């Protein structure tokens, strides 16, 4: 198209060719003078059309020609209002994900994902102030409250801080605060002083004496907040030590993370480093890297320990500059998966990383613009139709729970939605 425009322009603008054509036509047949003028007019219209088409085709997606963050949150809130009547209240069917055939995967509050759907509702209410969303958030959150006494899991932060913690900071309801404090009391019972960490899982006890997973960094935020809420430093101290232990033992020289570190409860030393959801023990499971990025960004915000800031910065560089990171910044489920590019993506990893970057950028001014550019690229990509879920109440498609299992592969998953909406709310607060 560009070549055609250039060739036409050269022919009709060259004095010699135009003059020759004009003289030739007008000398022999005067009526061709009018025809020549018409051709010239058509040519100029064609050039204008071509240039406009080229401009449209080369335009890059930027914030200037996409929906604003507020518009996205408004549309998500409206979408959720439409969704809510299609998801009946049921304490045994808290939304989690979808089967490959499109049927709902849901469960009781005991599942580790039970706090994400109510937490997403609270985030949408915090933005929209829509009374229907608030009522639904209150009702779904109530189903999870009994988990504040469950001492068989490290996931109390996911279950109760994403739901009750988010609710408290939006509504200032003291009951929600009390639930967060009780959940924190329960969680610290899993702390082992010799290891210096909170135990993650109780299963596989015949193989794993004291397993700690990188995901556990996400549950520390509730403990840091519990010290603010109560004035009792025990929660802060345990969270701080767990983060230091994870920093010491969970990372490879390239700043990628192991999924599971197994400790000896007698010596406190490391017995093994393995994976449970990644491709291999030596691979970089993408959501694990995102947990680390978010977790150490948050840990630095809470403690101001410079080692945590440096760790978060290096994890971010590993994650976003990895040679197997796709151009749209939505990673494959594992950076070392064997069949890239024919591997499932993990939208949830992208959403977690984006939300983590929005914390990290507050403390790393040197790289703030780069972090914000990565965030905006992710948020732009996730707003595109191909990443939108079509089954209520889910927002995003193409998350991956685990491939080796396999379970929840390339489907909507509630924690992808939660961290996406959290990232949008955090992005809304950024002044440029």
Which of the residues are catalytic? 155, 215
- The total of other beta-carbon atoms located within 10 Å of residue 319's CB is 26
DSSP code for 395: -
Degrees to nearest 5, angle at CA 23 with 17 and 26: 130
Assign 3-class secondary structure to 95-140: EEEECCCCCEEEECCCCCCCCHHHHHHHHHHHHHCCHHHHHHHHHH
65 vs 56: CA distance, rounded Å? 12
Which residues have C-beta within 8 Å of that of residue 311, sequence separation ≥ 6?
247, 251, 255, 292, 296
395 vs 354: CA distance, rounded Å? 16
164 vs 175: CA distance, rounded Å? 9
| Burial classification of residue 391, based on how many CB atoms lie within 10 Å of its CB (0-12 exposed, 13-18 middle, 19 or more buried) | middle
Do residues 422 and 123 make contact, with C-beta atoms less than 8 angstroms apart?
A: yes
Is the torsion defined by CA of 187, 189, 195, 201 positive or negative?
negative
Residue of 381, 383, 418 lying closest to 137 (CA atoms) = 418
Do residues 94 and 106 make contact, with C-beta atoms less than 8 angstroms apart?
A: yes
- The total of other beta-carbon atoms located within 10 Å of residue 363's CB is 16
């Amino acid at each position: 198209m560009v070549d055609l425009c250039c060739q036409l322009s050269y022919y009709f603008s060259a004095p010699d060719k135009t003059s020759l054509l004009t003289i030739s036509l007008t000398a022999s047949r005067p009526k061709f003078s009018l025809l020549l003028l018409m051709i010239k007019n058509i040519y100029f219209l064609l050039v204008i059309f071509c240039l406009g088409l080229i401009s449209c085709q080369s335009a890059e997606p930027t914030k200037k020609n996409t929906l604003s963050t507020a518009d996205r949150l408004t549309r998500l809130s409206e979408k959720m209002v439409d969704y809510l009547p299609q998801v009946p209240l049921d304490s045994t069917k808290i939304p989690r994900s979808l089967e490959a055939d499109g049927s709902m995967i849901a469960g009781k509050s005991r599942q580790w994902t039970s706090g994400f759907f109510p937490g997403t509702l609270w985030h949408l209410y915090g933005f929209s102030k829509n009374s229907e969303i608030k009522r639904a958030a209150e009702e779904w959150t109530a189903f999870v409250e009994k988990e504040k006494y469950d001492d068989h899991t490290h996931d109390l932060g996911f279950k109760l801080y994403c739901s009750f913690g988010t609710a408290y900071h939006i509504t200032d309801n003291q009951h929600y605060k009390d639930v967060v404090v009780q959940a924190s009391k329960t969680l610290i019972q899993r702390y082992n002083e010799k290891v210096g960490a909170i135990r993650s899982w109780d299963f596989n006890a015949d193989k794993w004496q004291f397993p700690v997973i990188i995901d556990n960094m996400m549950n520390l935020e509730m403990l840091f907040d519990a010290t603010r809420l109560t004035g009792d430093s025990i929660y802060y101290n345990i969270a701080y030590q767990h983060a230091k232990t994870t920093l010491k033992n969970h990372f490879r020289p390239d700043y990628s993370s192991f999924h599971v570190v197994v400790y000896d409860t007698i010596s406190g030393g490391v017995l093994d480093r393995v994976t449970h959801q990644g491709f291999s023990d030596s691979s970089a499971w993408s959501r694990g890297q995102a947990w680390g990025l978010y977790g150490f960004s948050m840990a630095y915000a809470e403690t101001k320990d410079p080692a945590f800031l440096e760790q978060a910065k290096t994890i971010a560089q590993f994650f976003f500059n990895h040679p197997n990171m796709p151009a749209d910044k939505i990673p494959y489920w594992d950076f070392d998966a064997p069949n890239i590019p024919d591997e499932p993506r993990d939208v949830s990893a992208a959403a977690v990383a984006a939300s983590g970057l929005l914390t990290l950028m507050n403390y790393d001014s040197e790289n703030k613009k780069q972090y914000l550019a990565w965030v905006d690229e992710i948020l732009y990509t996730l707003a595109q139709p191909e990443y939108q879920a079509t089954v209520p109440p889910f927002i995003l498609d193409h998350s991956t729970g685990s491939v080796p299992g396999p379970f929840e592969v390339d489907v909507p998953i509630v924690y992808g939605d939660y961290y996406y909406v959290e990232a949008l709310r955090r992005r809304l607060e950024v002044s440029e």
